[in-house]
Structure 1
Amino acid sequence: MSGQRERCEREWHELEGEFQELQETHRIYRQKLEELTALQTLCSSSISKHKTRLKDLKRTLQRYKRRASLEEAELVQQIDVTIKERQNIFFDMEAYLPKKNGLYLNLVLGNVSVTLLSNQAKFAYKDEYEKFKLYLTIILLLGAVACQFVLHYRVTDEVFNFLLVWYYCTLTIRESILISNGSRIKGWWVSHHYVSTFLSGVMLTWPNGLIYQKFRSQFLAFSIFQSCVQFLQYYYQRGCLYRLRALGERNHLDLTVEGFQSWMWRGLTFLLPFLFFGHFWQLYNAVTLFKLSSHEECREWQVFVLAITFLVLFLGNFLTTLKVVHTKLQKNRNKAKTP
Structure 2
Amino acid sequence: MMTDMATERSRSTVEEEVERVVEQSKELHEAAASLISKASKEAQILRLRALSVDTSILKLRSSIDSLLSHRRLDPKLADKLEDELNRARCILDDGEASSFLPGKAQGRFLKMFIGPIDVRATRKDVQLKVKQEYNRFRDRTAFLFLLFPSALLVLRSWIWNRCLPAFPVQLYQAWLLFLYTGLALRENILRVNGSDIRSWWIYHHYCAMAMALVSLTWEIKGQPNCVEKQRGVELFLQWAMMQGVAMLLQNRYQRQRLYTRIALGKAKRMDVVWGETAGVDGQLWLLCPILFVLQGFEAYVGLLLLQTAFVGVVSEWQVIFCGILLILMAVGNFENTVQTLVAKSRFKAKMKKSKSKQEFD
TM-score, normalisation: structure 2:
0.71
Does residue 183 of structure 1 match 2:198?
A: no
Write the letter of the residue equivalent to 2:106: N
| 1:297 aligned to which of 296, 313, 316 | 313
Aligned to 2:115: 110
Displacement after TM superposition at 1:190 (Å) = 2.5
Displacement after TM superposition at 1:166 (Å) = 0.8
| 1:38 aligned to which of 36, 41, 59 | 41
Displacement after TM superposition at 1:143 (Å) = 1.3
Which has the higher mean CA deviation after the structures are superposed, 23-32 or 96-105?
23-32
Displacement after TM superposition at 1:296 (Å) = 2.1
Q: May I ask how many residue pairs the two structures share in their alignment?
A: 310
RMSD: 4.0
Cα distance 1:145–1:70, how it changes in 2: closer, same or farther (>3 A)?
closer
Displacement after TM superposition at 1:97 (Å) = 6.0
Cα distance 1:127–1:212, how it changes in 2: closer, same or farther (>3 A)?
farther
- Kept in 2: contact 1:144–1:224 (CA 8 A): yes
**Residues 266-319 of structure 1: CA distance to partner in whole angstroms, max 9, x if unpaired?**
442121111111111112112212211212233300121112111111111111
Q: Distance in 1 between matches of 2:243 and 2:111?
A: 31
Which has the higher mean CA deviation after the structures are superposed, 248-257 or 24-33?
24-33
Aligned to 1:147: 152
Aligned to 1:133: 138
Structure number with greater Rg is: 2
Displacement after TM superposition at 1:165 (Å) = 0.6
Cα distance 1:180–1:333, how it changes in 2: closer, same or farther (>3 A)?
closer
- Kept in 1: contact 2:308–2:315 (CA 8 A): no
**Residues 225-253 of structure 1: CA distance to partner in whole angstroms, max 9, x if unpaired?**
10111011111111222233233332101
**Residues 120-161 of structure 1: CA distance to partner in whole angstroms, max 9, x if unpaired?**
111111101110111122123211111111163210111110
Aligned to 2:283: 268
| 1:249 aligned to which of 252, 255, 266 | 266
Write the letter of the residue equivalent to 2:136: K
- Kept in 2: contact 1:189–1:257 (CA 8 A): no
Cα distance 1:312–1:30, how it changes in 2: closer, same or farther (>3 A)?
same
Displacement after TM superposition at 1:101 (Å) = 2.7
Q: Percent identical across equivalent pairs?
A: 24
- Kept in 2: contact 1:96–1:116 (CA 8 A): no
Equivalent residue of 2:237, what SS?
A: helix
Q: Distance in 2 between matches of 1:53 and 1:253?
A: 22
Q: Distance in 2 between matches of 1:183 and 1:334?
A: 25
Cα distance 1:48–1:241, how it changes in 2: closer, same or farther (>3 A)?
closer
1:79-90 correspondence to structure 2 within 5 Å: none
Displacement after TM superposition at 1:31 (Å) = 3.0
Which has the higher mean CA deviation after the structures are superposed, 113-122 or 195-204?
195-204
- Kept in 1: contact 2:275–2:336 (CA 8 A): no
- Kept in 1: contact 2:195–2:271 (CA 8 A): yes
The gaps in structure 1 that reach 5 residues or longer are 1-19, 72-76
